Amino acid sequence: MRRILFLFSALMLFSTQTLAGGFMIGEMATRASGMGSAFTAVSDDASAAWHNPAGVAFTEGSQAMLGGDVILLNNGSYASNTATKGPGGAPITNTANAKDKTFFVPHAYFTYWDKDSKLGGSLSINAPFGLETEWPDTAAFNKKNTFSKIQMIMVNPSIIYKVNDSFSVALGIDYGYVQKVNLNNTIQTLSGDGDGWGGNASIFYKSDVFNVGVTYRSRIKVDLNGSAIAVPTGALAGSFGGTTTGVKTSITLPDQVNVGLAYKPSDQLTLSLDVDWVNWKTFDSIDITYNSAAYRTAVMGLQGAIGAAVTGATSLPQNWKATVAFRAGLEWKLNAQMRGRLGYVFDPTPIKDADFSPSIPGNDRHIFSIGYGYDVKPDITIDLGYAYVYFKERNQTASLGTPPGSPNSVKNGVYKSDVHILMASLNYHF
């Protein structure tokens, strides 16, 4: 399974950047994204495999979708403020620009429905979580963060049952394979991979005018194994630089609930609204265990913190909070073959002021999207879309100067960023 998923990601040049709250990516299908991904109560194309598998019960036959997003990332700028201070409380004046990047994030979906048996199935392969942030070594916080990356793919098969003409249910499993995690700074480089399992359930109610959908996904704990290397730099490089060790850590992807409402006042117009609850409280800390206590001593030596207690582990508090995002969208049928779409998303950051880190963009997001769909043939649809992601400016002043010798107050400053997304997909109905 891992080899197949790695091949899929390699062939599709897979890499990601966080676009929704935390390190979750909400843009998982072109048509849905054009409607602000307010799709839980629409779910009538192949992307229902992800947004709400229960919606498959109100489709006909089978559908397949293949597509992806091209993400043009302005990774952001940083400028120190009056709260930016180094060891001993000395003020720091510093600016830095994170590296601009271009990524491709693929998705593939398949649905099947048998109206006679009232049973169906679906398969979703996508990348709903991801992160890549790269700051230069000259940033004031270079001993805290320079490069952070999470690459993963999720596979979600589901079974669907139609209870009656208006109501259906679905159950599925989620397999998450984290292909690579990187947590680097000017002291050490750390990388690893791993996988984990979870589940999901969804319901769908359909009437002539209103649809209601609810999707739940469980948390997934991913155990990661990898290695760390002490970076040979500075006066202590001769003593500690190049020291290596095996490491273990884990991340818990959040459980979430998506509630959607769709209203169709006419055959030409569909309006949709989603409310998404994401339990980011699962991301409470990054606990890294080093196989070699000597390595931990080496890293602390490079940090100039030899006087602190030496153990075989490091705990990096995160203390994230649960969030509620709002998504709204519309689709207008221009004629028998063409449809236009608009969408808006407000997605607040789960990161508290005191626990902010430059490794993960900690800004509230506003996403504005447009989309277009064209039926090349009755059974083939091409969807195109564009989204602009505006990260609200963050004036960080709450990072504190602990632990001694490694002040978090270097993280204080003004952070800005934005993103452009180009989207395309092909949906085939057979």
The topology under which CATH files domain 2-76+97-395+417-429 is Porin (2.40.160)
Instruction: Say yes or no to pLDDT of 317 above 90.
Output: no
CA dihedral 67, 217, 24, 355 (to 10 degrees): 180
Which phi-psi region, left, alpha or beta, contains residue 318 (left: φ > 0; alpha: ψ -120 to 50)? alpha
pLDDT at position 232: 57
Calpha distance 66→384 (Å, rounded) = 12
- Supply 159's token pair: 């079974």
Q: H helices then E strands: how many in the chain? A: 5, 20
So where are the chain's domains?
2-76+97-395+417-429
Alpha helices in 196-308 (DSSP H): 237-240, 293-303
CA angle 67, 53, 123 (to 5 degrees): 50
Span 215-233, pLDDT tens digits = 999 999 999 898 888 765 5
Model-level pTM? 0.86
Predicted pLDDT at 308:
42
C-alpha to C-alpha distance for 345 and 365, rounded to whole angstroms: 8
pLDDT on residue 358: 82
Residue 59 C-alpha from the chain's centroid: 29
Beta bridge partners of residue 160, listed in sequence order: 120, 170
Contact 394, 425 (CB under 8 A): no
Residue 262 has pLDDT above 60, yes or no: yes
Tell me the average pLDDT across 292-305.
Answer: 63
pLDDT tens digits, one per residue of 70-128: 988 776 888 989 888 877 778 888 888 888 888 888 999 999 999 899 999 999 999 98
- pLDDT, tens digit, for every residue of 178-221? 887 887 776 777 888 999 999 999 999 999 999 999 999 999 99
Q: Of the given ranges (11-25, 143-157, 309-323), which has the lowest mean pLDDT? A: 11-25
Closest Cα partner for 367 from 387, 392, 394? 387
Instruction: Please tell me the predicted confidence (pLDDT) of residue 311.
Output: 54
DSSP 162: E
Residue 184: count other Cβ atoms within 10 Å of its Cβ.
20
Contacts of 365 by beta carbon, 8 Å cutoff, 6+ apart: 19, 20, 21, 345, 346, 347, 348, 349, 389, 390, 391, 392
- Say what the pLDDT of residue 75 is: 64
| pLDDT tens for each residue of 37-72 | 999 999 999 999 999 999 999 999 999 999 999 988
